[in-house]
A and B are shown apart, each in its own frame.
Chain A
Amino acid sequence: MNKVVSIDAAPGSNSLAAFDVERVRRDFPILKQKVYGKSLVFLDSGASAQKPQVVIDAVRECYETYYSNVHRGAHFLSQRCTDAYEAVRADIAGFINAPSENNVVITSSVTESINLVAQTWGRKFLKAGDEVIVSEMEHHANIVPWQLLETEIGITIKVAPIDENGEFLLDSFKQLLSPKTKLVAITEVSNVLGTIVPVKEVIRLAHAAGALVLIDGAQGIVHHGVDVQDLDCDFYGFTGHKLYGPSGVGVLYGKAEVLSAMPPYQGGGDMIEKVSFSGTTFKEPPHRFEAGTPPIAQVIGLGAAIRYVSGLGMDNIAAHEQGLLAYANSRIEDLGGVRIVGQAHDKAAIISFLLDGAHPFDVAAVLDRQGVATRVGHHCAEPLMDRLGVVGTVRASFGLYNTSDDVDRLIAALGKAKDLLL
């Protein structure tokens, strides 16, 4: 992945010819608005990204022209809607380079994707004493589902550590692997620190120890391209709303042989082959795991989002964001008095920070009044906060539509926070 691209042009302009951020911004109607009379600087894409017009249009077009339930009706609209819906499954497969669309399970979020694995694969294949390794940087969505199994089945959760800089400690991880390790469930990118975990190496090591690997790609897939076959992960989950798509839709990729061995998740319509009171048979994956009416319009919207980011090019997006990250880091350093929490060598464009002498809630509130939207708190990663010894952080997370101008506004707002709070 393209690491360091410096933005040395004047603030507000963009030196990357392949990626015209001013043109990109025009695709996002919400960014034009003012908040508290100031133009909006949206630095909270890590929580949920804004939607380009093509996504909004795709959802609207679905409802206006061909919406119908899928996989059911024997009529024109249902066929058209089913075709559009299933075409997105193929688009998703292409986007992450899955071997086939049958590897792609549609869920409601990455949270559901992870719970699905825990409740189906986990309940079938894990027994008391088996170990699941997570990292210290996990979002609660990749902790609590395993804790449920800890309580119910008696599995043990092992936690792979990070160092003070938020660097994933590969050697310590290696030492946790043992014949008892059945699954490594790990984030690709920390939603708090931005740390990019060397997942390919993690997967190789885990496989060598006989364990499967689930990647929580919620923050990974938005910042760089993903190739699940190259990674060789067994599961990969992500969530649509962080990838500039609608909320309410997520994805679980699984290897074919792993998915086929898994029992259904929820029971209901659409996941069965035949239902009778003497016995019900289930469809093959991925439909086996998709009970009930799926989030149809959201899937259509996700398809549009995937085409949109693919059109821009994930490498271009990554390069643009890396440029912003480098620029923001240097401006924050120049400003002084701000501690960046998470200084891993390989980072996505997520910056958690603390203003010395100020409470993060106060800082975020002052930034907000300057029109700069950030997130503050524990970011659904309380164990990580404990590890770092902080109650919370302010987090600026950058997306493809952010500019060096946005960074300048963040710095100016931080200056204001220093004036007001210190």
Chain B
Amino acid sequence: MSIPSAQYEDYADALEMIDDEDMRFEYIIDIGKKVKDQDFPEDWRTDDHLMHGCMSRVWIIDEVKDGKHYFRGFSDAIIVKGLVAMMTGSFSGLTGDELQKIGTDHVRRLNLGALTTQRQVGMMAMLETFKKLGSAGGGTVAGLRSANA
């Protein structure tokens, strides 16, 4: 399926255009640096919103509006922050059903070679978290839900 997210296309196109792995790596760092502390207030960084199984801490929250999921995330490491921003930006604005249709290939377009296997696994885990939140919510409740819901 195509993902109705301009952000996803922007990220994927940008990464495809950069043909040097080091530059791609730096691109992800730059995205991470743009995420500011105030974008994800301290009181959201609770254990409830923590994603399990990550090397560095990752918090994800899911806001549901009109049946669509809007994810936001944060990490204490910049590179992970960049990946989280790319993932939440790319896969927000989808319904629960649409989220279930996102495949690993969609995610793969976002990490073209610049990442270690461990980080690629981390991104797939993030996708699983989005799907879980998507299926648990079904778009009926507005508000924040935890990544471990």
Contact = CB atoms under 8 A, between A and B. Distances in A.
Interface of A: 36, 358-359, 361-362, 365-366, 368-369, 377, 391, 420-421
Counting from the closest, the 8 A-B pairs by CB-CB distance are A359-B77, A361-B77, A361-B56, A362-B78, A362-B77, A362-B79, A420-B29, A365-B79
Contacts of A377: 55
B116 A358 contact: no
Interface residues of B, number: 14
Given A361-B55, A361-B56, A421-B29, A369 B78 contact: no
A369 B29 contact: no
B16 interface: no
21 contacts: A36-B22, A358-B78, A359-B76, A359-B77, A359-B78, A361-B56, A361-B79, A362-B29, A362-B77, A362-B78, A362-B79, A365-B25, A365-B79, A365-B116, A366-B29, A369-B25, A377-B55, A420-B26, A420-B29, A421-B29, A421-B33
Q: Main secondary structure on chain B at its contact with chain A?
A: helix
B78 A368 contact: no
Contacts of A369: 22, 25
A51 to B, nearest CB: 23
A153 B46 CA distance: 37
B22 to A, nearest CB: 6
Contacts, number: 30
A36 B79 CA distance: 18
Contacts of A362: 29, 77-79
B21 interface: yes
Nearest to B56: A361
Contacts of A361: 55-56, 77, 79-80
Nearest to B78: A362
Interface of B: 21-22, 25-26, 29, 33, 55-56, 76-80, 116
Contacts of B77: 359, 361-362
Contacts of A391: 76
The residue in A365, A369, A377, A421 that gathers the most chain B C-beta atoms within 10 A of its C-beta is A365
Q: Main secondary structure on chain A at its contact with chain B?
A: helix
A200 to B, nearest CB: 38
Nearest to B20: A37
A377 to B, nearest CB: 7
B56 A359 contact: yes
Given A365-B25, A421-B29, 20 more contacts: A36-B22, A359-B56, A359-B76, A359-B77, A359-B78, A361-B56, A361-B80, A362-B77, A362-B78, A362-B79, A365-B116, A366-B29, A368-B116, A369-B25, A377-B55, A391-B76, A420-B26, A420-B29, A421-B33, A421-B78
Contacts of A365: 25, 79, 116
Nearest to B21: A36
Nearest to A419: B26
Nearest to B82: A362
The residue in A362, A368, A369 that gathers the most chain B C-beta atoms within 10 A of its C-beta is A362
B15 to A, nearest CB: 16
Nearest to B25: A369
The residue in B33, B77, B79, B116 that gathers the most chain A C-beta atoms within 10 A of its C-beta is B77
Contacts of B25: 365, 369
A358 B80 CA distance: 12
Contacts of B33: 421
A204 to B, nearest CB: 42
A201 B55 CA distance: 39
A208 B146 CA distance: 56
A47 to B, nearest CB: 15
A359 B116 CA distance: 17
Nearest to B30: A420
A217 to B, nearest CB: 29
B60 to A, nearest CB: 18
A355 to B, nearest CB: 11
A369 B116 CA distance: 10
Nearest to B32: A362
A386 B25 CA distance: 31
A368 B76 CA distance: 19
A236 B77 CA distance: 39
A328 B69 CA distance: 50
Contacts of A368: 116
A359 B77 CA distance: 5
Contacts of A420: 26, 29
Contacts of B78: 358-359, 362, 421
Contacts of B76: 359, 391
A54 to B, nearest CB: 32
Contacts of A366: 29
A358 B76 CA distance: 9
A368 B118 CA distance: 13
A391 B79 CA distance: 17
A36 B23 CA distance: 12
